[in-house]
Amino acid sequence: MSLHLPDPLAIRYSPFATPMFRVFDLKQMGYCPRLAYYAYCLPNLTIARPPLVSLGARSGQAAEALEHRRSLRAYGLREGKRYFQVWLESESLDLCGQLDLLIETPDELIPVDFKDSLEHSPGRRVPPTVYRGWAIQLAAYALLLEQTWDRPVRRGFIYYIPTRRARQVEITDALRDEVRAVLAQMRAIVEREVMPPPTPYRARCRDCEFRRFCNDV
Ligand code: SF4
C-alpha cells in the first residue's frame, strides 16, 4: 500500500469545508459525545493524543497483527486477497478512516479491525467479545467500502491480537442505521456548537485527557 497514507486521526474537510468525520469518532461518541464537541468545535484545545487510542498503539496493533496473520484461517477463508491499512473516504457520508485489513474474495469484501486492548483480554482460547462500538466501527468501514469499491459488504471481523482470534460481525441494517444516526448526532453537535451533556459513566472521566476542560464532572 501507499507509504503516504493520511494521518488517520487528523481532521479532514470536504470541498464544502464541512468536516469529514473519522471512523475513530464513532467510537469516541460511544465513549462520550463531548469528545466530538472538543475535536470539532474547539480544535485548538491541544492534548498529547486523543484519549483511548494513540497512533503508536495503532501501529503496534497493525504490525503485530501482520506478524500473526499469515493465513486466512482465522476468518474461516481459503482464499482472498489481503490489503493492509486501506484508506477510505466518502464525501457523501462525510466520513473517512483507515481500515486495518481488507479481504477481497470473488464474492465479497470483508473489513477487519484489529484490537489489542489488554483490558478486554478474556484469555487466549476465547474469541474476542465484540462491543457495540466496535461493531459500529466495522459497519462504518462497510459503508465506506460499498461506496468506494462499489461491492457489497455482508460481514466483517474483529481480530483480537492478544488471543489471535477473530470474531465475525454481521453488517446488519440495524448497524448501518446506527452508523448514520451517530453521524447525524455528530453533525448536529458541530452545526449547533452546543456542548453535549457529560457521559453518564463518570468513571470514564477519571482517565480522560479532556477532564480539565469539563468543569461539571
Ligand atoms: S471528562 Fe468525562 S465528560 Fe468530559 S469529555 Fe472526558 S469523558 Fe466526557
**Ligand 1 atom closest to Cα of residue 51:** 6
Dihedral in degrees, nearest 10, Cα atoms 69, 85, 134, 112: -40
Helix H or strand E encompassing 37: helix 34-41
Q: Which of 201, 205, 136, 213 is nearest to 175 (CA)?
A: 136
Q: Which residue of 28, 29, 37, 204 sits with most ligand 1 atoms within 8 Å of its CB, as the best mutation to test the pocket?
A: 204
Which residues are CB-contacts of 81 (< 8 A; sequence separation ≥ 6)? Answer: 103, 104, 105
Q: What is the pLDDT of residue 55?
A: 45
Task: Count other Cβ atoms within 10 Å, centred on residue 147.
Answer: 15
Top-confidence residue, 57 or 72: 72
Q: Around Cβ 217, how many Cβ atoms within 10 Å?
A: 14
Whether 52 is in the pocket of ligand 1, judged by its Cβ within 6 Å, is no
Q: Dihedral angle at the C-alpha atoms of 203, 209, 213, 217, nearest 10 degrees?
A: 10
Q: Is the pLDDT of residue 47 over 70?
A: no
Cell numbers that stand for 137 in this block: 466501527
Enter the CATH code of domain 19-213.
3.90.320
Domain ranges for the chain: 19-213
210 touches ligand 1 (CB under 6 Å): yes
Ligand 1 and 36: CB distance under 6 A: no
pLDDT level of residue 162 (50, 70, 90 thresholds): confident
Name the grid cell of 93: 457520508
Whether the pLDDT of residue 49 is over 70: the answer is no
pLDDT digits (tens, 9 = 90+) for 84-125: 999 999 999 999 999 999 999 999 999 999 987 654 444 555
Query: Which string of DSSP letters, residue by residue, matches 63-96?
Result: HHHHHH-SSSGGGT-S--EEEEEEEEEETTTTEE
Could you say which DSSP state residue 151 is in?
-
Residue in 28, 29, 35 to alter for ligand 1 test, most ligand atoms within 8 A of Cβ: 35
Residue 3 has pLDDT above 80, yes or no: no
For residues 188 and 131, the model is more confident at 188
Q: Is the dihedral of CA 157, 162, 129, 174 positive or negative?
A: negative
Atom of ligand 1 nearest to the CA of 34: 5
Is residue 148 within 8 A of residue 102, CB to CB? The reply is no
Q: Which of 7, 39, 8 is nearest to 137 (CA)?
A: 8
Ligand 1 pocket, 195 CB below 6 A? no
CA distance 17 to 13: 5
Q: Whose CA is nearest to atom 2 of ligand 1?
A: 205
Strands 109-115 and 155-160, by their bridges, are parallel
Instruction: Give the HSE-up count for residue 116: Cα atoms under 13 Å, Cβ half-sphere.
Output: 18
Q: Tell me how far apart the 2 most distant CA atoms of the chain are, in Å.
A: 54
Q: Kindly report the pTM of this predicted structure.
A: 0.82
State the closest ligand 1 atom to the C-alpha of 202, by its place in the atom list counted from 1: 2
Q: What is the C-alpha to C-alpha distance for residues 50 and 166, in angstroms, rounded to an integer?
A: 26
